[in-house]
Amino acid sequence: MLGVGIGWLAEEFHAMGVPFEHRGARFDDYISAMKKVWSGELVEHRSALLDWSGFKSYPLPVQNPFPVIIGGSKGKAFERIARYGTGWYAPCESTDELAPMLDALKRACSAIDRDYTEIEITAMWRPALGVERARAMRELGVHRLVARMIPDPRHDLLEQIARVGDEVIARL
């Protein structure tokens, strides 16, 4: 799976010599071009940013369509997720924050006749939030939680991971 976003740090774009202001259009164009390449067909893609003619790339992804997880919640993020994404990485760990964003994603999907249920939702979660928060996220429709674990030098990281497995994941 490929996780992507349009970026937020202008200095990164400046360092690469590309305009920060046009990152959304660049993102859309590049995703469209990559999806063509992943088809395995001979690609023609001409735009202001790319000029591919007779282009083919190997190896091809095993999964078709190749999972593209788009992160973000600002600007046209939900439109992009509806149009290009097989999944969404929600930049929050609160159900109160997530619920209205899911509504926005549903509206974006509806606007282009995309089935919202096809989109796999990933959200953040800290083990300290406990099993009830994980269950609440699942009830909202979250498919995957990314556990944010900060290593504690007083405890072995593998033991911390095992504890989360025993105390939280086993109870889901």
Q: Return the pLDDT at 22.
A: 92
Compute the Cα dihedral for 80, 83, 89, 94 and give only its sign.
positive
Question: What percent of the chain stands above pLDDT 90?
Answer: 69
pLDDT at 49: 93
User: Nearest-CA neighbor of 121 among 107, 101, 96?
Assistant: 101
Model confidence pLDDT, tens digit, residues 15-44: 999 999 999 999 999 999 999 999 889 999
Which of 11-20, 38-47, 79-88, 122-131 has the least mean pLDDT? 122-131
Q: Are 169 and 161 in contact (CB under 8 A)?
A: no
155-172: average pLDDT? 84
Percent of the chain whose pLDDT exceeds 70: 100
Residue 85 CB partners (closer than 8 Å, separation 6+): 68, 69, 70, 119
Average pLDDT over residues 142-159: 85
- The residue extents of the domains of the chain are 1-66, 73-172
Q: How many other CB atoms sit within 10 Å of the CB of residue 78?
A: 24
Kindly report the pTM of this predicted structure. Answer: 0.86
Q: Does domain 73-172 bear CATH number 3.40.50?
A: yes
